[in-house]
Amino acid sequence: MPQPWSAPLAATPVHATVTVPGSKSITNRVLVLAALSGRASTVTGAVEGRDAELMVAALRALGVPVEADGSTVRVGAHDGFRGGGEIDCGLAGTVMRFVPPAAVLADGEVRFDGDPRARERPMGTILGALRALGADVAGDALPFTLAGTGALPGGVITIDASASSQFVSGLLLSGARYDKGLTLHHDGAPVPSMPHIDMTVELLRRAGVVVDDSEPNTWRVEPGPVGAVDWVVEPDLSNATPFLAAAAVTGGEVTVTGWPSATTQPGDAIRDILTRMGAEAVLADGALTVRGPGRLSGVDIDLRDVGELTPTVAALAALADSPSRLRGIAHLRGHETDRLAALVAEITGLGGDANETADGIEIRPAALRGGPWKAYADHRMATAGAIVGLVVDGVAVDDIATTAKTMPDFPGMWSRMLAGAEGN
């Protein structure tokens, strides 16, 4: 078992400039697109973390030549996906939902498995969709096996993607390589994390794929080649949010470099959220600077489209001086862990006042005390504990190493931020 990490207490307001690694969401999408193109391409600025390593390993298992050198990944030319391999999804939703729609194009059987918690995550929607499109799939959750024939008929499919936007993105990424392309209809409650689908569509278009998303809840992907693109990955804006939160909770000032002026990343929403909670957020000259308020206010907000920010926002809310209500996030019960139950358990475990609702969490002001904070093998739960620990003495995160999923050196980056290091 890992040793608990004593979350550093901020003795003074935090003042620092931080540079975060590349976006995991973009990295793993463009790696799949690069492999689907069949031609050589380079990904620059790729995140170095477990999820990206699992994606690289998955593509290699399909016979794709991939070389990773730090944040640069080179995907080589190949004649098609190879069967006979085994793919470890770990706990990476992007691997377990993006790779199977591509693996059905392999010339043989491909077996998928992952971490114990991954076997509990919803997969039936995407596997059922692949069956309906002509794939031979054995199983409805991890572990499962695909029997590829080198092609897939494709066509029209209706799914309920209300549990995860990754069901839509995973199918869209490979849709152009299906014989009839793909027309995907969503029928159900609103799809969460819609910005991630917008991201997928934008990246497909950059690769020359024709996508029509003009009709609500419907996406049409024309059959055809996926172009070879030399990709440049944006910084991961969601991973930047704990550092910006540090300014908000300590009344300090943190600047994150490389912040794009326009992006499909959900993490960009942190600017509005922090402003609503009383902080100042200024985007200028390719950097975002957040200045913390004297007192942090609670917020009543629908996070359906930006659910991945919930742990950061919940940590902020636990330190605010008025109540908060985080709504539209029932789907987070199916993430790396049940994030709603986990956040309530850890906040109340430190003396906080929080409870689950049907679609979210309510958090009220309370005097927090030090104590253990469980990460649940969830990188965003771990960073939420680090935020709380900035102003609550004695918080100990049980598994800070889980942040390596998307940030290989989070503890070092956190320490350098507290030291006021430039270009962290």
Does residue 420 surpass a pLDDT of 90? no
Shared domain for 261 and 207, answered yes or no, is no
Give the Cα separation of 193 and 331 in Å (integer). Answer: 10
| 29 labeled part of a ligand binding site | yes
Distances 75 to 36, 78, 207, 209, 396 between C-alpha atoms, Å: 10, 9, 15, 19, 40
State percent of the chain over pLDDT 90.
95
pLDDT of residue 2: 75
Shared domain for 339 and 404, answered yes or no, is yes
Question: How many structural domains compose the chain?
Answer: 2
Give the Cα separation of 207 and 132 in Å (integer). Answer: 26
SS3 43: strand
Q: Among 177-191, 290-304, 322-336, 348-362, name the one with the lowest average pLDDT.
A: 322-336
Q: Is 308 noted as a catalytic residue in this protein?
A: yes
Does residue 423 surpass a pLDDT of 70? no
Shared domain for 269 and 254, answered yes or no, is yes
Shared domain for 207 and 252, answered yes or no, is no
| 295 labeled part of a ligand binding site | no
Instruction: Tell me the CATH number at 305.
Output: 3.65.10.10
| 121 labeled part of a ligand binding site | yes
Asked whether residue 229 is assigned to any structural domain, the reply reads: no
Give the Cα separation of 20 and 237 in Å (integer). Answer: 8
Boundary of a domain, candidates 221, 256, 274:
221
pLDDT of residue 421: 57
Q: What is the residue type of 384?
A: A
Shared domain for 207 and 311, answered yes or no, is no
Is residue 266 within 8 A of residue 23, CB to CB? The reply is no
Average pLDDT over residues 197-208: 98
| 339 labeled part of a ligand binding site | yes
pLDDT of residue 334: 83
25-60 pLDDT, tens per residue?
Answer: 999 999 999 999 999 999 999 998 899 999 999 999
Average pLDDT over residues 163-171: 96
82-96 pLDDT, tens per residue?
Answer: 999 999 999 999 999
pLDDT band at 1 (very low <50, low <70, confident <90, very high): low
Structure tokens at 257: 């470099």
CB atoms within 10 A of CB 187: 11
Does residue 407 surpass a pLDDT of 70? yes
SS3 284: strand
Q: Which parts of 338-391 are beta strand (E)? A: 353-357, 360-364, 371-373
Boundary of a domain, candidates 221, 244, 276:
221
Shared domain for 152 and 204, answered yes or no, is yes
225-282 pLDDT, tens per residue?
Answer: 999 999 999 999 999 999 999 999 999 999 999 999 999 999 999 999 999 999 999 9
From the candidates 53, 234, 253, 308, which is the catalytic residue? 308
| 23 labeled part of a ligand binding site | no
| Predicted TM-score (pTM) of this structure | 0.89
Q: What residues make up the domain containing 118?
A: 24-221
Distances 288 to 18, 244, 265 between C-alpha atoms, Å: 10, 9, 14
